[in-house]
Amino acid sequence: MKNEIKIGIIGLGGIAQLVHLPILSKFKRVKISAVSEIKKSRLKAVADKFHIDNRYTDYGELLKKDDCDAVIIATPTNLHHEISVAALNAGKHVLVEKPVARNYEEALGIRKAAETNRKFVMIGMNLRFRPDTMLLKSLLNSKELGEIFYVRTSWLRKQSSSEDWFLSKNKAGGGVIIDLGLILLDLALWLLAYPKCKTVSVESFFHRTKDVEDSALGMLRFDGGKVISFEASWSLLSERDDLKLSVYGDQGTAHLNPLKAYKLIGENKIDMTPAFASNPKNLYKKSYENELRHFVSSIVDPSHVHSSIDEGISRMKLLEALYKSAELEEEIKVNF
């Protein structure tokens, strides 16, 4: 392993301040070599707090002057394509926070730059890296619940960002579907081992927003009779951030938040819940710790990158189908 891995961070909003910087600063053999942020006051405050000397208001200067091995991109979504391509062309590996881009075409452009420069792109899908979801994945892989036929997902929470760009379709790419729905579906598809999708049907709502949807409900049908349903909302009232997922198999059922699993043997319900204890705050922190450790290990050996650009492209293709269904107000056929 390299003696020191250097990582630059572009965009110093909440996710960088709460997750990337404090976690990476504790990793051995990792150095946060430079940061970039367009807001000068934020750049100074954050760089001072984490004792980072190399700081730039222009990310292009970071890419040109800093010899980092990789960059993390945590900017508004409309900048993901532009900065990812520039970083790849500068010879850097990339971790870009979800969504990878605003649309399918931009995601294709990022993959082309990655292939041209022989660098990898990882998309931040931290729900896959939660300890409880990884335990659930192991349970499903072992066929303890039999053949899985239905995954039901739901996420009700406050709007993820208060920045103006977040409610602009042109800048964000969409509303709650691209914000919460996308990561929910990524998790469900990962758990199901990526079955082939046949149809999607989505209804979206604009109760407290104008340009982007603030609530959405949907159903996706797959080969083999598998079904995923989802609901995502910033505006449906809930007493707390409420993330739920249930997996139904022909021999058992499992749930997240908290992790529970049950198997039917004869007429008896057997508790199959793995020995596991963690509170939501720890799960959140651990998900990002695991994700960032995987990113760092991939810099050393990029032979198997989880949440790769190819997977990101597949999700963006699905996302376009979801928005098309919502716009047409009808179920549409797909083939991917």
pLDDT (0 to 100) of residue 279 = 79
31 lies in some domain: yes
Residues 223 and 252 in one domain: yes
Residues 18 and 85 in one domain: yes
304 lies in some domain: no
109 lies in some domain: yes
Buried b (16+ CB within 10 A) or exposed e, 300-325: eeeeebbbbbebbbbbbbbbebbbeb
Residues 100 and 144 in one domain: no
Q: Domain of 165?
A: 128-287+315-333
Query: Could you tell me if 336 and 196 are in contact, meaning their C-beta atoms sit under 8 angstroms apart?
Result: yes
Q: What is the pTM of this model?
A: 0.96
Residues 186 and 266 in one domain: yes
* Rounded distance between C-alpha atoms, residue 211 and residue 102, angstroms: 15
pLDDT (0 to 100) of residue 237 = 76
Token representation of residue 152: 């039901």
Class of residue 331 by CB neighbours under 10 A (exposed 0-12, middle 13-18, buried 19+) = middle
Residues 71 and 104 in one domain: yes
Query: Could you tell me if 216 and 177 are in contact, meaning their C-beta atoms sit under 8 angstroms apart?
Result: yes
pLDDT (0 to 100) of residue 245 = 98
Residues 132 and 113 in one domain: no
293 lies in some domain: no
Residues 193 and 282 in one domain: yes
Query: Could you tell me if 28 and 21 are in contact, meaning their C-beta atoms sit under 8 angstroms apart?
Result: no
pLDDT (0 to 100) of residue 275 = 84
Single residue among 124, 150, 183 that ends a domain in this structure: 124
DSSP annotation of 192 reads: T
Residues 114 and 179 in one domain: no
H or E stretch covering 313? helix 309-328
* Rounded distance between C-alpha atoms, residue 99 and residue 315, angstroms: 9
Residues 70 and 217 in one domain: no
Single residue among 93, 124, 155 that ends a domain in this structure: 124
Question: Phi and psi at residue 271, in whole multiples of 5°?
Answer: -75, 115
How would you write 68-131 as a 3-class SS string?
A: CCEEEECCCHHHHHHHHHHHHHCCCEEEEECCCCCCHHHHHHHHHHHHHHCCCEEEECHHHHCH
Single residue among 81, 97, 124 that ends a domain in this structure: 124
Buried b (16+ CB within 10 A) or exposed e, 150-180: ebbbbbbbebeeeeeebbbbebbbbbbbbbb
81 lies in some domain: yes
Tell how far CA 102 is from the center of its chain: 14
Nearest partner of 174 among 99, 230, 254, 81, judged by Cα: 99
| CATH classification at residue 165 | 3.30.360.10
309 lies in some domain: no
| CATH classification at residue 85 | 3.40.50.720
pLDDT (0 to 100) of residue 244 = 96
In angstroms and rounded to an integer, the radius of gyration of the C-alpha atoms of the chain is: 20
* Rounded distance between C-alpha atoms, residue 260 and residue 248, angstroms: 12
Class of residue 251 by CB neighbours under 10 A (exposed 0-12, middle 13-18, buried 19+) = middle
Q: Which residues of the chain have pLDDT under 70?
A: 1-2, 277
Residues 80 and 154 in one domain: no
Residues 6+ apart with CB under 8 A from 75: 10, 11, 13, 83
As for how many domains the chain has, the answer is 2
301 lies in some domain: no
258 lies in some domain: yes
Residues 201 and 257 in one domain: yes
Residues 279 and 170 in one domain: yes
pLDDT in tens, 198-237: 999 999 999 999 999 999 999 999 999 999 999 999 999 7
pLDDT (0 to 100) of residue 277 = 67
What are the distances in angstroms from CA 269 to CA 186, 229, 251, 274? Answer: 30, 25, 10, 15
Token representation of residue 247: 């997996």
